[in-house]
Homo-oligomer: A and B are copies of this chain.
Amino acid sequence: MKVTKKIVLEEHDMPTQWYNIVADMVTKPQPMLNPQTREPITQKDLEVLFSKGAAEQELSTERWIDIPDEVRDLYRIYRPTPLVRASGLEKALDTPAKIYFKNESVSPVGSHKLNSAIPQAYYNKIQGIQHLTTETGAGQWGSALSIACKHFGLDLKVYMVRLSYEQKPYRKSVMHTYGATVIPSPSDTTEAGRAMRAQYPNTPGSLGMAISEAVEVALQQPNTKYALGSVMSHVCLHQTIIGLEALKQMEIAGDYPDVVIGCFGGGSNFAGISFPFMRNNLVNGAKTQFIAAEPALCPKLTQGKLIYDYGDTEGFTPLIPMYSLGHDFEPAAIHAGGLRYHGAGAILSQLLKDGLYEGRDIDQLDSFKAGVLFSQVEGIIPAPESTHAICAAIQEALKAKEEGKEKVILFNLSGHGLIDMASYDRYFAGDLH
């Protein structure tokens, strides 16, 4: 028996509070603006779309926010998740680096998305809301919100990016099994959808378009709210449970990361693994490097501009201060559907501006190559999104080898790819570029 492979925590070790990084930021994020008045958004403005609980958390500056018992109760279906030593990957790369990953793929829907789906459904439930709408890219968020809504007795309508709807038909089946309604976006069921189909008849859709549709329905239908799977500060907050657990687990392992890596779509998965460690950079003088791995074909962090932009294509959301490629940016039809988003959330944009982390562009072919290697040496076939983080981790491990350094690398395995096998098929067939 070699080094410990998995660091597991007991249920009673699960964090009781989420971490809100805003409390520790030197420069606070710029406020979101009400697009009509261009005044900073208020909780009341947010409550038009979101649950009261989410709206309150969105603007909170409290450092620690209690996780409700009902939420922790459901988290226990899969949490705490294991921290795994990627010993197979270390050996394959022949690197002196120690590589760890937080394995969020053990969630029953296969990804980290449940971490925010559960509280979002819960806050709507206690407010008496009966219907939710949402968007989903690869389908991970939609699946997560479907089971969370089923648990709390809410009805859910999911607008799924058409490209993913076609690429990943099993995701729709998962949502269906959990009792949700799934509509490929853009659709004919909303004004926004019809307008987008008129403008781009052959569009594969995008997260921005699907958000517009879901928001439109939430605004028009009684007793209905909207839930978003990333970007927003309250979603990043919920995801910090990943990093909070990882902090404890790294301590048990006797290591502290020199590098922390997450893939980046709207930013909540990256926030989740990073923020609890970034706190030590902000307040305790730690020097950890943070890398957000994004698709080279959707390079908001390296090529975007920090502007006030809409979160969706049609312009229904508040104006968000974001590194953005423009809300009408139409991302290429890459297979990492969860990363096909034009902008970064407000907190994440401020942190990028302030140099707390860096974006790294990953080519699609390199991401799948990394995913296949990881599959073969660690056994877990990663989601196409997560392969971006793996690819960056491999780059860092090879750099450590060149430099002869025993670096400690931590990345988040945000999800498995068992429902994305058609993407791997296309990779092996040489159809991807």
Contact = CB atoms under 8 A, between A and B. Distances in A.
Interface stretch (A119-127, A240-248, A375-383, A392-400): A375-383
A347 to B, nearest CB: 29
B424 A173 contact: yes
A174 to B, nearest CB: 6
A379 B109 contact: yes
Which 5 A-B residue pairs are closest in the complex by CB-CB distance?
A: A173-B421, A170-B421, A5-B76, A108-B379, A108-B380
Nearest to A148: B379
Interface stretch (A37-45, A128-136, A175-183, A228-236): A175-183
B150 A376 contact: yes
Nearest to A426: B173
A5 B11 contact: yes
Copies in the complex: 2
A6 interface: yes
Given A1-B72, A5-B77, A418-B418, A376 B147 contact: yes
A425 B171 CA distance: 11
A59 interface: no
A374 B84 CA distance: 29
Interface of A: 1-2, 4-6, 8, 10-11, 69, 72-73, 76-78, 84, 88, 106, 108-110, 147, 150-151, 169-170, 173-174, 176-179, 372, 375-381, 416, 418-419, 421-422, 424-425, 428
A376 B178 contact: yes
Contacts of A8: 8, 10
A108 B381 contact: yes
A177 B11 contact: no
A426 B205 CA distance: 27
A375 B174 CA distance: 9
Contacts of A147: 375-376, 379
Given A6-B11, A73-B2, A173 B422 contact: yes
A379 B107 CA distance: 9
A375 B177 contact: yes
Nearest to A170: B421
A170 B73 contact: no
Contact of A174 (B4, B77, B173, B421): B421
A253 B358 CA distance: 46
A151 to B, nearest CB: 8
Given A174-B421, A178-B376, A179-B376, 20 more contacts: A1-B69, A6-B11, A6-B77, A8-B8, A77-B380, A106-B106, A108-B380, A108-B381, A147-B376, A150-B376, A151-B377, A151-B379, A169-B421, A170-B170, A173-B421, A173-B422, A173-B424, A177-B421, A177-B424, A418-B419
A110 B416 CA distance: 11
A4 B11 CA distance: 8
A77 B177 contact: no
A176 B428 contact: yes
Contacts of A106: 106
